[in-house]
Amino acid sequence: MPIPVLSIITWLPMASALIAACISTRRDNLFKIIALITLLGQGICFLAILYRLPFPLSCEPSQYASTSLFFVERFSWVCFPLGKLGMLSSNYYLGIDGLNIGLVALALIVMFIGIIASWHIKKYVKAYFILYLLLNTLIIGSLLALDFLLFYIFFEITLIPIYFFIGLWGDTKGPYAATKFFLYTLLGTILILVVLIGLGLSAYDPIATGIHTGIINTPLHESVVAETVDMIQQMVQNNQIASKDIVHTFDIPLMADVKNFVPNASFNVASGKLLGGYPLRLLGFLVLLVGFLIKLAVVPFHSWLPDAHVQAPTPISIVLAGILLKLGGYGLLRTAYSIFPEGAVFYGFWIGILGVGCSIYAALNALAMQDLKRMIAYASIAHIGFFLLGLSSLTAEGVQGALYQLISHGLITTLLFLLVEALYKKTNDRTINHYSGLAARMPYYTTLTLIAFSAALGLPGFSGFIAELLILLGAFQSSIFSTYLPIGLGILGGLCILLNATYYVWAIQRMFAGKFSLYLPALEPTLKDIDVQERVVLLSVIVLVAVLGLCPNLLLNLTRDTLIHLVDRIQEVGQANLQKLLM
pLDDT, tens only, 141-165: 999 999 999 999 999 999 999 999 9
Provide Rg for the chain, Cα atoms: 24
Pick the closest to residue 67 from 470, 568, 581, 574 (CA basis): 568
163-207, pLDDT tens digit by residue? 999 999 988 888 999 999 999 899 999 999 999 999 999 999 998
Cα 558 vs. chain centroid, distance in angstroms? 17
The H or E element that residue 232 is part of is helix 222-237
366-413, pLDDT tens digit by residue? 998 888 999 999 999 998 998 999 999 999 999 999 999 999 999 999
Q: What is residue 482's predicted lDDT score, i.e. its pLDDT?
A: 62
Low-confidence ranges of the chain (pLDDT < 50): 1, 60-63, 66
Cis peptide before 443 (omega within 30 of 0): no
Percentage of the chain beyond pLDDT 70 is 96
Beta strand pairing call for 278-279 and 274-275: antiparallel
Q: What is residue 455's predicted lDDT score, i.e. its pLDDT?
A: 93
- The C-alpha atoms of residue 467 and residue 308 are separated, in whole angstroms, by 26
Q: What is residue 60's predicted lDDT score, i.e. its pLDDT?
A: 46
Contacts 24+ apart (CB under 8 A), 13-17: 13/38, 13/42, 13/133, 13/134, 13/136, 13/137, 13/140, 14/133, 14/134, 14/137, 16/133, 17/130, 17/133, 17/134, 17/137
Q: Is the pTM of this model over 0.85?
A: yes
435 torsion bin: left (phi>0), alpha (psi -120 to 50), beta (else): beta
524-577, pLDDT tens digit by residue? 777 888 888 889 999 999 999 999 999 999 999 999 989 999 999 998 998 888
Write down the H helix ranges in 52-93.
Answer: none
- The C-alpha atoms of residue 398 and residue 471 are separated, in whole angstroms, by 4
The H or E element that residue 388 is part of is helix 372-393
530 and 426 Cβ atoms separated by less than 8 Å: no
Q: One-letter amino acid identity for 384?
A: I
